[in-house]
A and B are shown apart, each in its own frame.
Chain A
Amino acid sequence: RSEKRTQKALEGKMGIRFILMVNKQGQTRLAQYYEWLTLEQRRALEGEIVRKCLARNDQQCSFVEHRNYKIVYRRYASLFFMVGVDDDENELAILEFIHLLVETMDKHFGNVCELDIMFHLEKAHFMLEEMVMNGCIVETSKANILSPIQLMDKAH
């Protein structure tokens, strides 16, 4: 199995490859990709991964392998947060990243729920953009993530 992994050439591997937020009915609420995929590829990818994660229960670990990615996921209420990473990434750190993301959104929206993300998708995107660039985590302080967003909101 490790041979299979090394055989798949990870060209331009950049830590985080994509971030998805999907609800229990399989509807995508947020999709951020850090590599170029066509529409069909994205849809297929999302469908397969969601199916895999939905089939698992809470007693099972939060890591799933799919093709040449590792998917780290965690469910918060009705929403699945799924991050696709390359083999080298520290899974526990990604879990912490997901938690950080949720906490940040919670701080901004106040008791964030799925509806908040649906109606303020761009805010969620801005938070992600502050946190991740080129697939690398560049910011991990909630204050630093939110301050530009709060500034921009005030100014406009």
Chain B
Amino acid sequence: MASSNSLMDSLFQRSLEDLIKGLRLGESTFISRSLEEIRREIKLTDLSTKSVALQKLSYLAALHGVDMTWAAFHAVEVVSSSRFAHKRIGYHAIAQSFSDQTPVMLLITNQLRKDLNSSNEHEVSLALECLARIGTDDLARDLTSEVFTLLGSSKALVRKKAIGVVLRVFDKYPDAVKVCFKRLVENLESSDPQLLSAVVGVFCELTAKDPRSYLPLAPEFYKILVDSRNNWVLIKVLKIFAKLASIEPRLAKKVADPVCEHMRKQNVGKSLLFECIRTVFSSLSNQEVALKLAVVKIREFLMDDDPNLKYLGLHALSIVAPKHLWAVLENKEAVVKAMSDEDPNVKLEALHLLMAMVNEDNVTEISRILMNYALKSDPLFCNEIIGSILVACSRDSYEIIVDFDWYVSLLGEMARVPHCQRGKEIEHQLIDIGTRVKDAKLELVRVSRALLIDPALLGNQFLHPILSAAAWASGEYVEFSKSPYEIAEALLQPRTCLLPDSIRAIYIYSAFKVLVFSLGAYFSSQEPTSSPLAQESTSSGPSMVNGFTYNSISSLVNMIELGLCSLSGTIDVEVQERAKNVLGFIGMIKHEIAEKATSQNSETEAHRAIAFMEDVFSEELGPVSSTAQEKVPLPEGLDLNENLEGLQEICREVLEPMAESDYSSDKVSFSVAKLRIRDQEEASSSLPPPLESSSLLAEHRKRHGLYYLSSQKSDDHNDRDGNDNNTSNEYPPANEISVDSFKPKKKISKPRPVVVKLDEGDEPKRKPDASSSNDESLSRAIQTALMGKGKGKEKEKEKERVKENHEMNVDTENIEQSSRREKKNKKNGERSGKRSSRRQRGKEASVTKPVEVPDLLL
């Protein structure tokens, strides 16, 4: 029964062509039917049927996502066939589907070895290609000697493929270097352009991973650079030199001339020209002649209509921008033009280049122009623009910003851009500036007020983080506000129901701070003698209204009470609790507001309560370094590990999202969410009293007084003036970037406000990546291979000698092995004599040739 079935299957097996035709007509059911057929056919013993089945399966796997790993063993069977057609199908299937996890991988070692030793060069090349795709550590190790032999093959096709496989073998089995490296280098001197192309390609990849090891080969590469006429080869060699020259500056000088020669040629191919330019920009940028020539040539790219060339031109400029900004400035018209290009990729490159040109003097103007572009652009590009501005301006603690009032209002403006989705970063920066730049608080409060009172913004979920920051700032720095009542009203407007509960909670808390501040001002303004509280409240807020009347304070309190009453029953516990807290507080002091109008008693319960709350909020919150916690000395007798596992659970949700966010973890570990915990802790006074933290700040100031600018009074004064200027100025409507944007302007007279920075920096330390042990052993192997060739340093002579001996031993081993094989191959007409003599010559040449690069090239 089974045999007749198999006969049927064999006779009527659908070929690959049938399969493809069938696929064109119908899809998934056809595939599953075909798969069933294939499963049956592939188990048959007849190799032809099996291989056709395998062929069909490979096709389905490649193009229709069918899994073929189950057929691994059958692939091995097919490959063992003596028919070339079968081998081809088998190897193709193996190359496509085998991986490190394939269990039958071991079975093909011998097959590969057999085919690598075959006299049929096509079989050899099949095996080499397969090895290149799937080579594992074991395979590489076991087949190194075969590869070594083939590297010296007389047949160019085979040799070329052997060169191609070397990369994989070296990668998986670094010891192969000892055996094969010399042959590889020999091929560098080959006159056959085919081989040269392959060899140079291999060295290009090797050098990219580990340039230092290949430095001794620079003379060979140099010869190729000067002599070759093949663009592919030249491009690879240029890449090699780009890597080598960046670690060996003397090479840069030597290589600059030939590179310029290539650039100056009449009909140089664009790809070669581009590679030359890129090499100059990345590694030879200190060679003046080459650099100037490259900049001239890149201009041609920028002016070309071909979008590819335009894009690549901009891209190349961004490589050279950090060190040689003049190259970018020279081409600024092209960059500006590219900002309105049709191609979003081109626009993006132009944007990055523009940001590279930004400095202290032109940041306002460039931001202005970029914001205009943003308003006119699609959402994607708009957010790219906003993102770039945010990154550039906040770099190094806002190094580039001189006028913080302008910057804070720009942040507010960004919130009004319709497509803005950068809420989180804007939120972070608003708060960050609030804590670091004392003099910006006034503007911050002004901008926050504008954002808070606008009901339209509440509907845009992307803006909620910004509103959260605005709310926090308004509450924290309420003393700078012109009308606390307005703020409180905005914070409690009905439309805030659109906010997520977490932000709502912040709103409520800020309203509370406003309330406390107002009450404090009210109660203290009635006292004839100047109390410390009164002094504080009047000196810190230059634009504060003169106290509160009974009417105004009671309307404030009533308004807050009314606004919060509805919230005292919400589902969210946070919102509910805060609302109830505030309501409770109001309840406690409400009756005394009316009394205050009559009595002068400052010892009332209400008075004390308000004074206490004011005290809680009076301490200034500054930026916290990410390493601050580690610096706190452990008090004696405190065991940190006890009883904190439970806390870990709660804290994880708060701490982990910040660690993952792109921006905030890099800088200050400060966000509104964390602030909530802090506030609550403060309120319950479980932390050490505020006195300690202020003394720490004073200490910091004492130690690092150098970094604090003096005279805050003059800053305040100028601040007020500066503020007036900003509000009355119309922003110039310019849409074009004029030449003037890039000329250095006169310095503004207003001094830059103090920006608190932390001495140990805000970036968490990045751990260096551990390099893989494979790479290290490969480098070592290469280095010893090259060192063993010629003279080394005195100290290493002995090591070398030992290594040399070892190499010689290996070589003699190989010579023995291959001479044995030679005898075998002689029957097949291999020209073994030539091979061994070439090998001898190679060895001699390598021993006598000195390794020192500098001597040869300089």
Alpha-carbon gap, A39 to B349, bound state (A) = 34
Question: Is B164 a contact partner of A28 (Cβ separation < 8 A)?
Answer: no
Q: Is A144 located at the chain interface by the 8 A CB criterion?
A: yes
Find the A residue at minimum CB distance from B274.
Answer: A92
Name the contact of B312 in the complex, choosing from A91, A118, A139 (C-beta under 8 A): A91
Which residues from A are CB-within-8-Å of B274? Answer: 90-92
Which residues from B are CB-within-8-Å of A139? Answer: 160, 194, 197-198
Name the contact of B205 in the complex, choosing from A60, A61, A122, A136 (C-beta under 8 A): A136
Segment at the interface with A among B62-70, B491-499, B528-536, B689-697: B62-70
Residues 189-247 of B contacting A (Cβ, < 8 Å): 194, 197-198, 201-202, 204-205, 208, 230-232, 235, 239
Say yes or no: A136-B161 contact (C-beta < 8 A), given A60-B307, A91-B312: no
Q: How many interface residues does A have (CB within 8 Å)?
A: 54
Question: Is B235 a contact partner of A61 (Cβ separation < 8 A)?
Answer: no
In the complex, per-residue mask of A133-154: 1 if CB is within 8 Å of any chain B CB, else 0: 1111111110010001001100
Alpha-carbon gap, A9 to B275, bound state (A) = 23
Q: Is A59 located at the chain interface by the 8 A CB criterion?
A: yes
Question: Is A92 a contact partner of B205 (Cβ separation < 8 A)?
Answer: no
Which residues from A are CB-within-8-Å of B36? Answer: none
Dominant secondary structure at the A interface:
mixed
Residues 96-118 of B contacting A (Cβ, < 8 Å): 99-100
Say yes or no: A39-B65 contact (C-beta < 8 A), given A60-B342, A136-B164, A152-B84: yes
Find the A residue at minimum CB distance from B201.
Answer: A136
Say yes or no: A95-B308 contact (C-beta < 8 A), given A36-B99, A64-B345: yes
Q: Is B182 located at the chain interface by the 8 A CB criterion?
A: no
Name the contact of A144 in the complex, choosing from B99, B194, B769, B772 (C-beta under 8 A): B194
Question: Is A59 a contact partner of B308 (Cβ separation < 8 A)?
Answer: no
Dominant secondary structure at the B interface:
helix
Question: Is A92 a contact partner of B132 (Cβ separation < 8 A)?
Answer: no
Question: Is A138 a contact partner of B198 (Cβ separation < 8 A)?
Answer: yes
Alpha-carbon gap, A135 to B132, bound state (A) = 10
Name the contact of B239 in the complex, choosing from A88, A135, A140, A151 (C-beta under 8 A): A88
Alpha-carbon gap, A75 to B374, bound state (A) = 32
Say yes or no: A136-B20 contact (C-beta < 8 A), given A63-B311, A148-B122: no
Question: Is B307 a contact partner of A133 (Cβ separation < 8 A)?
Answer: no
Segment at the interface with A among B3-11, B165-173, B501-509, B825-833: B165-173
Which residues from B are CB-within-8-Å of A148? Answer: 122, 125, 157
Counting residue pairs across A and B whose Cβ atoms lie within 8 Å, the total is 141
Question: Is B59 a contact partner of A121 (Cβ separation < 8 A)?
Answer: yes
Name the contact of B92 in the complex, choosing from A57, A122, A133, A137 (C-beta under 8 A): A122
Q: Is B43 located at the chain interface by the 8 A CB criterion?
A: no
Alpha-carbon gap, A36 to B345, bound state (A) = 29
Alpha-carbon gap, A43 to B530, bound state (A) = 76
Q: Is B17 located at the chain interface by the 8 A CB criterion?
A: yes
Q: Is B399 located at the chain interface by the 8 A CB criterion?
A: no
Alpha-carbon gap, A118 to B308, bound state (A) = 30
Which residues from A are CB-within-8-Å of B310? Answer: 61
Residues 103-156 of A contacting B (Cβ, < 8 Å): 118-119, 121-122, 125, 129, 133-141, 144, 148, 151-152, 155-156
Say yes or no: A134-B164 contact (C-beta < 8 A), given A59-B307, A90-B274, A91-B308: yes
Question: Is B17 a contact partner of A119 (Cβ separation < 8 A)?
Answer: yes
Q: How far is the CB of B810 from chain A (nearest CB, A)?
A: 25
Which residues from A are CB-within-8-Å of B318? Answer: 2
Q: How far is the CB of B408 from chain A (nearest CB, A)?
A: 26
B residues near A, CB below 8 A?
Answer: 17, 20, 55, 59, 62-63, 65, 67, 83-85, 88-89, 92, 99-100, 122, 125, 128-129, 132-133, 157, 160-161, 163-165, 167-168, 171, 194, 197-198, 201-202, 204-205, 208, 230-232, 235, 239, 269-271, 274-275, 278, 307-308, 310-312, 318, 342-346, 352, 769, 772
- Other A-B pairs, 5, CB within 8 Å; known A93-B275, A138-B197, A139-B160: A1-B352, A36-B100, A62-B308, A138-B160, A151-B122
A-B contact list, 27 entries, CB within 8 Å: A12-B171, A14-B167, A15-B205, A31-B62, A39-B65, A61-B312, A61-B343, A61-B346, A88-B239, A91-B308, A92-B308, A93-B235, A93-B275, A95-B308, A119-B17, A122-B55, A136-B167, A136-B205, A138-B160, A138-B161, A138-B164, A138-B201, A139-B198, A140-B197, A140-B230, A148-B122, A156-B85
Q: List 6 A-B pairs, minimum CB-CB distance, nearest first.
A: A133-B164, A92-B271, A136-B201, A60-B343, A61-B307, A61-B311
